[in-house]
Amino acid sequence: MLCVIAGLAFPGATAAQDYPARQIVLIVPFPAGGSTDAIARIISEPMRQALGQTVVVQNVTGAGSTIGVGRAIQSAPDGYTLSVGNWTSHVGASAVYKVPWHILNDLEPVAMLSTTTLIIVARTGLPVNGGKELIAWLKANPDQATVATVGAGSGAHICGIYFEQKTGTKFRYVPYRGGAPVMADLMANQVDLFCGEASQMLPHFRANRIKPLVVMSKTRWRPLPEVPTMGEIGASDTYIAFWQGLWAPKGTPKPVIAKLNEAVVKAFADPTVIKRLNDLGQEIPTREQLTPEALAAFHKSEIERWWPLIKGANLKAE
């Protein structure tokens, strides 16, 4: 009788004791093949081992990632449908697109997944070979350079606006539907510049198909240690952390969040996972950064930092 009463009083605790009892879905709001999708797939197998249930990745795209994020938010808060996302989906997009939910208030943080850097790159035919040369060339040729974007409020878009503000330069923005056509046009010398996730472009750097100019992080990027930071070329305190995280719908029981967090921590202790993420140029968070509380605080600080810039730019959803 006491067990029954306890179960009625604390239904979340009872549900958590049995969790998980069936398949878990990780919703990725981007197409298959991108870095967020890759990271979700890398951690899905060790999470399956830790939780004892199948963990599958489901790509739900559209409206600048807000359809996929919204589907996760509107799912039952039982730990069986989760949201995997990055800076674009969980910071930039909902500052531009009108959505019936709030990215901070309607999700429960589970864990940070990885961080990497954004990097400004150029077509091989552009007559610059570094960040300082780029700034000088842009100032000598105002409003001439074209820069690719992949959606209003995306990391690529905000990176361009931020770079303009910090360096006193101007671009002409060219919208694209995704990273693949951007890469094709960069390699064909059809667009001048792009600010994108460094890990996605690593094979193109190694093949000398595009030129890395400057990284948007506080420190140099491990796979390309010769490329300077913005601070090193004279734009102090200019950086964007591009990161990935895992969330559950608001109201998910805390014991369920704890089990999910523990599964992520175990995944990041797996040498195979560590190697695969390192090969992608992704940095694994420290143990202190892997707590739900750490993701909540960091996510809030990112919203507070970037929403004023995004909303001040009066960006319109495409």
Instruction: Give mean pLDDT in consecutive 10-residue pieces for the chain, a chain of 318 residues.
Output: 50 73 97 91 97 98 94 98 96 94 98 95 96 96 93 89 94 87 94 93 93 95 94 90 96 98 97 94 94 98 95 82
| 306: number of Cβ within 10 Å | 19
**Under a CB-based contact definition with an 8 Å cutoff, are residues 166 and 238 in contact?**
yes
Architecture label for domain 117-233: 3-Layer(aba) Sandwich (3.40)
The one-character DSSP state at 283 is B
pLDDT at 6: 47
Q: Say if strands 146-149 and 172-175 run parallel, antiparallel, or are unpaired.
A: parallel
pLDDT at 118: 94
The one-character DSSP state at 188 is T
193/213 Cα distance (integer angstroms): 10
Q: Say if strands 241-249 and 81-86 run parallel, antiparallel, or are unpaired.
A: antiparallel
Q: What residue has token string 């990112």?
A: 302
Whether 117-233 and 22-116+243-312 are alike in CATH topology: the answer is: yes
What's the chain's Rg over C-alpha atoms? 21
**Under a CB-based contact definition with an 8 Å cutoff, are residues 58 and 26 in contact?**
yes
Domain edges within the chain? 22-116+243-312, 117-233
Q: Say if strands 55-59 and 24-28 run parallel, antiparallel, or are unpaired.
A: parallel
**Under a CB-based contact definition with an 8 Å cutoff, are residues 84 and 36 in contact?**
yes
Q: Provide the whole-model pTM.
A: 0.90
Q: What is residue 72's three-state secondary structure? A: helix
224/3 Cα distance (integer angstroms): 58
Closest CA to 91 of 119, 67, 111, 65: 65
284/278 Cα distance (integer angstroms): 8
Architecture label for domain 22-116+243-312: 3-Layer(aba) Sandwich (3.40)
In the numeric block, which tokens belong to residue 236? 């102090």
273/289 Cα distance (integer angstroms): 17
Strand runs labelled E in the chain:
24-28, 55-59, 81-86, 107-123, 146-149, 172-175, 193-197, 210-215, 241-249
Q: Which amino acid is at 313?
A: A
163/273 Cα distance (integer angstroms): 33
Closest CA to 199 of 119, 257, 123: 119
